Amino acid sequence: MVKEYLHLEHDGKLLLVDQHGNGPVKPVKGRFSSEGPIPIIRLPTEEEAARMGLDWSVKRVNRIVLANVAHIITYATPNIKWPSDWAWKDSVISDSAVDPVTRESVYRTLHRVVSKVLITNKRSEILMAKVSRGFFTGCWTLPGGFVDYDEHPRDAAEREALEELGISIEIPDPKGESGDASGENEWSIVQTAIFNEEGLNWVSFTYRCDTDIEDQEIVPKDDEISEARWFPKDEALRRAVSLFDIEALTRLDD
Find the domain containing 215 and state its range. 111-250
Helix residue spans in the chain (DSSP H): 46-51, 100-107, 153-165, 233-239, 243-250
Q: Does 121 lie in the same domain as 69?
A: no
Please give the model's pTM, rounded to 2 decimal places: 0.85
- When divided into structural domains, the chain yields a total of 2
Verify that 127 and 102 share a domain, yes or no: no
Quick count: other Cβ atoms within 10 Å of Cβ 146? 12
**Domain co-membership, 26 together with 62:** yes
Report how far residue 26's alpha carbon sits from residue 39's, in angstroms, rounded to the nearest whole number: 12
Provide the residue-wise pLDDT of the chain in tens; the chain has 254 residues. 789 999 999 999 999 999 999 999 999 988 887 666 777 999 999 999 999 999 999 999 999 999 899 999 999 999 999 999 999 999 999 999 999 999 999 999 999 999 999 999 999 999 999 999 888 999 999 999 999 999 999 999 999 999 999 999 999 988 888 888 787 778 999 999 988 888 889 999 999 999 888 788 999 999 899 999 999 999 999 999 999 999 999 998 86
